Each structure stands twice: as C-alpha cells, then as structure tokens.
Structure 1
C-alpha cells in the first residue's frame, strides 16, 4: 500500500491526546464488546480475518507523526511497518466465564493506554465464556473517532454490509426564514424584508451561541463540589445492563419523550438510589452531566474523526417520582438544546482550528490540568446496528459500549442500541464512590419502574374509557 498525503488532526482530535497526557492514569480510548455464539475461532484465522478487514479502514494502518514544540498539528501517516499481530490479542475469561468474568477482562483491557508508536487500536479475542460463547473487544483511541465513527468502523469488522441506524441530525440552527428553493424574487420590498429577517435571525443566533458558551464555561469551571467526581487511579471496573428496546419505545410513545430521555431518566434513577443508600444529599445541583451531541451530517458518518459538541444538563436526582423525573429530564434536555450550548461548542471547536496549533495545544494542556469539579459524569448515546450481525459466521448476541473517563469524571456511561435491545455500558474508576455494577443494576431497575408506570397509565386509561362507555 502506498502512503497517501498526511492528514492533520483537528484541534478536537488532538485535544484528546493532550487530555490523556494531562493525567498519567487516564486512557482516552473508547470501545465495544461483542458477545458471540461459539465456537471461538482459532487465533491465527481470527487475526487473518481482522487483517483483511482493517485494511479497508485507513486509520487502522496509520500512525501519529508529531512535530517538535507543537509547531504544527499531529498528522496521520501510513505505517510502513504495520503488523496486525501487534493489535490482535488473545485472552481468556476466568471461570465460570459469566458476565462478571467478562467485565473484569474489559476493565483490564481499558486500563492500559494504546501505544502511540503504532496505529491506535486493539482487537481482543476473549474465550472461556460460559455456554460456549466468546467475545470480541474492540478498542480505539478517541483521537481517531467519536462514538458514531467508531460504530461505523465496528460495522466494517462484521460479515457483509452491516446496516447501522443513526438518528436524524437535530440542527441547533434557528431558521432564518430566507428562501432557498427557487430563483430570487424581483420585488425590492421582499429584498428588504428578507434582509431584515436574516438580520434578526443572525442576532438571535449570536445571542444563543454567546449564552450557550457562557453556560458551558460557568458549569465546567463551577467550584460546586460533585460527590461523584474525583481523581483517577490506574484501575477500572466495568458493568453493563440491557433492556428491551420495545419497552423503551412504549414509554416514549406513551409520554411523548425520546429514547435518550428515557435512558437519562433511568441513569438519574440509578444515581439517586445509590446516593440515598449512602445518605448523600440529592440536591437539584448534585448531578451535572456531560452529554455529547453529534454534529455530523448524514454524508459524514464514515469519516474517522470527532464531530461532537456538548450539553451540560443537571439530572434531577432530587425528584423521587419516576414519571415526574422523566418529564423533568425531557424538559431540561429540551432547554439545553434551545440554549445554544451545542452550537457554542461547535463554533468553539471550529474557531480553534483557525488558531496556531501551538496556542490551542498549550491552552488545552493548561485547562485539562485544572481541578474540574463542576461535572459529575458523562452519558453518551450511540446507535448500533438495527439488525443482528455476524463476525466470521458467528452471530453477535449482544453489543456493549465502553465510554472513556478523564478529567476527574470517575464514572462514564455509554448507551447503544442493537437489534431489539438498548444496552448501557458503565465504566468507572476502581475507587469511585459508586461501582459500575451497582449503577448498571440501578439503570435496569429504573427502566423497569418506568415500564410499570406506563402499564399503570394504560390500565387507568382503559378503565376510564370503560367508565365513560357505561355512563353514556
């Protein structure tokens, strides 16, 4: 393979490298676990298959080239010494090979940093699982891809053409009322009206962006102490919970909310229950959460890079009633989308690409070394394949996401859909106040509570309808 023109990392891509450098206990990789039907393939045939498939993904055979004193952004260049066996690893889960044993393997894999002298990914074959199953653990550095790009990369490792479902992109841009679907009007009055409307829309957009930027800065730099936040150690724990996607959609339909609203409400429930068990105060400002927002256009899904912004809502752990909590989450996410936070984040990233790289690199290094206490956790939602897929002829039974943690965020939660399931992957620092296993169980129970509320509302509605029929 011939080397192509080097591609520079964006300021955001490079920022993940600098954030990792700011803390020796941080490993800024994201990942996924595919649990498959047996039997497991032998290591040599597995490595050969992976070798063929990753060569279709340029980033998997490219290595970072940096420049002294940050005179220019790092670049992706072809690795002439690429050898797939540097990246394909083999391990076994401890007996009895249950979920807990698999989660221990995942935690150990994610603890270690990827070697920057080689392409920034690994693929682990994990055998020894109960019922003849095996697992595939894929790990890629966050500088290579965000969640959606990584999901697209995972689909390339599957047999055939896997269909990956992505939600419609929600624009944060207000409508400017201008005409875009025909020839310009010849009416001068329309020109003036159009110019006035565009000016108003631009002013409103600028106000939203500036307001959103102020909110992000205030909330990240807030001295508010978060009980869940704290310094990282070198060890991790992992847990996961899967729920019925049909159940989640039934909640969405009944209460006019989104899948993401239901997921965040269940996460809120899990944190609230954990805090109550520990006699910690559940205040309205106890759980500031970083929620990444994709800003990819549909034609950019395949591009290996990061195209995300952020929102920073407060999850309502102070609300005890599950339905009220769900509605509060929905309202807060709606307000966050309207506030201009995600648009401000996108513009900040775009502007940073116009500055000298040395300035942005030094700034990011300084900011990532500050003691962040304003945000407690991160929760990210990445859609997966809508239909069941196979790897080397073996059916993927379940797909578990793995988020990163850094910058005093000791708990990270990723949500992904696969076929008829919605799965929550929780990674945490080993010394975090709440364990990932406890949160995963709490999330599952939180969804069950919302399902019970949904069924109760339907029964009540049916009873009301029957009463009306009897009266009439």
Structure 2
C-alpha cells in the first residue's frame, strides 16, 4: 500500500474545509466525429484504464488520522461506474459545452470509489464529440493528470507504465520513525537551505498579508461557470522573441490585462496589491514524470493590474517572476512539503485542517500552466482537435485559470463561482484580446526597427 504525501492529503483537507468546494481537476478533449459506438468506447477505455494503477485504487483513511490516507486496490473495481455518457442539444456550441462542463466539475467525486470520472458527451457542432476526464487533485497535479489522459489515447501504450508515489506506508504513529526521517532531511540540507528559508518567509507573508479588498475573493457557492480562450502558440512565440520573455510571462501578462479590465467594468480600482496570484511551479524530476500525485511548489507574485500599458505589464510580470524564482520561493515550497512529510501525520492533518478553515485573504486567484503534447493525439481513431483544461476552486478563490498548450494552440480554461463571477467569459475573451494586442505591438515594433539594427541583433 502507498500513502498520500502531506501535499496530496492537504487537497482533501482543503475540500473538507468548505462544503461548497470541489477539488477535482479536469480536461476536455474535443474530437472529430463521428463518435464510436458506446460499446466500442466502453471496451476501449476500460482496457486502457486497466493500465493506470491509480485509477483502480480507493482512498483508505486511518482512524483518528493516526496515519496518512492510503491507496488500496478496489477489489470490486468496475470501470462502468466511472465511464458516463451525456448529450448536448444539437448543435452544441462552445457555450453549451462550457455550461455542461461546469455542471460536471462542481459536483464532488465519490470517495467510496476510485476518485475519477470519464464523461463522453455527444451532440457537439461540426459533427464533434468530447471526453471529459475528471480526477481529484489529491491523486494528481496538472502534469500527472495530463499523462493519465494520454494513457487513454491511441498512442498511450508507448508511454512507460505510471506508478504511484514512492512514499512507503508506515500505517501508524511511530515516534522513532519520524524522528529518524526528520534527522535525515535536516542533516542533508545544502547551503541553499538559507535561500529556501527566505523564500518560505516570502510565501508565509504572502499568505498572511491580505490583498486589497475586491470582489475577486470571498465565499463561494457550489455552482460554477466555465469559459475558454485560445490563441496561437506562434503568436505567443512572436511576443517572446520580441521582448525576451517566456510563454508563461506572456500568459500571465494577458491574464493581468484581462483582470484589470474586469475590475474596471465592475467599478473597482485596480490597485497594485489587488491580484496576488498563486502560480504553481512543477518540481517533478525527469524520472518521475509518469508518477501520480502532486509534485509542485508555488510562487505568489502580485500581477500588475494597476498598470495600463500592455508592454509595461509584460515587463513587470517578467521581472516579478524572475525575482520570485531567485527569492527561494520555489525551493521553499518544495522544502516545506518535504519537511511536512517528516512530521507525524496526526500533527500535519490537524494543522492543515485548522489552517484551511481560517479565512484566506492573501491569495486572489490561481494561474497554473501545464505543458501539453505538441503532437495531435487520437482516441479510437478520432483526432483530438482541442484540449481544454479545467482548474478547481477552493479557499475562497472565486476564479481560477488553467493554461495548457496543445499542438499549435495555447488554451486558457477559466472557472468561476456562478454568482460571484458571472463574467468568466469576458475574462477569457479579454485574455485573447490582450495577447492579440501584444502580437500587434511586437509585429509593429519589428517593422519599425531599422534593417541594420535588426541584422545586428540577429548576428549577435
């Protein structure tokens, strides 16, 4: 049996702390039709699910939290409990697909069964259909969930067999075990631990210090809205080359501009401290890319919604992320998670339970970037033409954004509370407009550059 890490278990506690939260993550694969027969789909998906051990396992909790929850084999596993079907009124457009996806994602997964669902939906326009894979966040982060989805695809068999976390189950609260573990971790700390400690201070300050009061944070209901935006990766690369920034910088700058306009539409002032954003950072090593579970750290930058100029926004985002990376926040998050794994689980669980029940006012939104496959995938011979990510909502965050690349597109999946964030579609379209404007500025700047200067830059 394998046990959950402290971080994995933390997602369960965060969900339990708010009856309106559902901490499942998802992705919608839109495929060219016609959709295969149901019996063909069921047989094909069932066979592929069998190759992913975590999808056949139940979550087993310990009495009184004396040990971490464990993954155990479901002796009565039946894929039919998890593969479900739906149909949209034809022709189902993007708005109809988004409404349906929001309804599916807002409902919690049944903890008496393996924590995933695979929905097949028919009736999309242009003779298309879709698969929505939904897994609990305690089971996988974005990269692990993406790998699970790839295992359902026609070429998924060429990937290495996913395995679970390598943390061995202790099953009980044994002081000698955890003292020894804590000693091994502390004695092996490199000099970089000092930087990690400073980074930890930054993270704790970011979580404790309230952001400016806006309509972006507060209690949420159990209902959700979902919308997507898509841009060309070639366009994003154009901006990256022009300004010497990363794809993530461009994505976050576009999110900044869209949130700024959203606040203005709501009649609120976009202050410099209005949008502290949780930016997950993968710490997954190359040899663990096929493992399930969460292997992430965090950065907590303020996105510059107070700045109106798009280039100023982009350069500020780039400098703040560079500063956050150098401050030790990434290392601190990884260190804190490792340290938490060395603490007796009862203390970890009780502390996490108390913290997740406190009002959270420091972080305003989450923006997570998951690199997706650059080659197009197929399921039972049908090509996946679009891949749409869906983040969760919890901890009084009223909006969340997942960013995923697929083939030649960069996709933004925006989820929001149904009542508090009725304008998620405007937030998604605002991201598209912001990137289009950055592309226009980049192309215009290139055209206005003297030829000699351009040749000098290329030659250098």
TM over 0.5: yes
- Between 289-298 and 276-285, report the one with greater CA deviation: 276-285
1:329 aligns with 2:324: no
Aligned residues of 1:226 and 1:376 also touching (Cα < 8 A): no
Structural mapping, 1:63-462, within 5 Å: 63-161=58-156, 202-203=190-191, 205-227=192-214, 228-433=216-421, 435-462=423-450
Cα deviation for residue 206 of structure 1 reads 3.1
Cα deviation for residue 302 of structure 1 reads 0.3
Which residue number corresponds to residue 172 of structure 1?
Answer: none
Partner SS state of residue 449, structure 2: helix
Question: What are the Cα deviations for residues 136-171 of structure 1, in whole angstroms up to 9, with x where unaligned?
Answer: 10000001100111111111000024899xxxxxxx
Which residue number corresponds to residue 39 of structure 2?
Answer: 44
Take 2:47 and 2:320, find their aligned partners in 1: how far apart are those partners?
Answer: 46
Aligned residues of 1:149 and 1:305 also touching (Cα < 8 A): yes
Which residue number corresponds to residue 186 of structure 1?
Answer: none
Aligned residues of 2:212 and 2:271 also touching (Cα < 8 A): no
Take 1:384 and 1:429, find their aligned partners in 2: how far apart are those partners?
Answer: 26
Cα deviation for residue 397 of structure 1 reads 0.6
Partner SS state of residue 370, structure 1: coil
Structure 1 gap ranges (5+): 1-5, 165-200
Q: Where do 4+ consecutive residues of structure 1 move more than 2 Å?
A: 161-164, 223-226, 432-435, 462-466
- Relative to structure 1, the CA distance from residue 318 to residue 162 in structure 2 (aligned partners, 3 Å threshold; closer, same or farther) is farther
- TM-score, normalised via structure 1 length: 0.88
Which residue number corresponds to residue 18 of structure 2?
Answer: 23
Cα deviation for residue 340 of structure 1 reads 0.6
Partner SS state of residue 154, structure 1: helix
- Number of matched pairs: 425
Question: What are the Cα deviations for residues 19-50 of structure 1, in whole angstroms up to 9, with x where unaligned?
Answer: 11101111100010001001112222211111
- Relative to structure 1, the CA distance from residue 286 to residue 68 in structure 2 (aligned partners, 3 Å threshold; closer, same or farther) is same
Cα deviation for residue 202 of structure 1 reads 4.8
Cα deviation for residue 353 of structure 1 reads 0.6
1:34 aligns with 2:29: yes
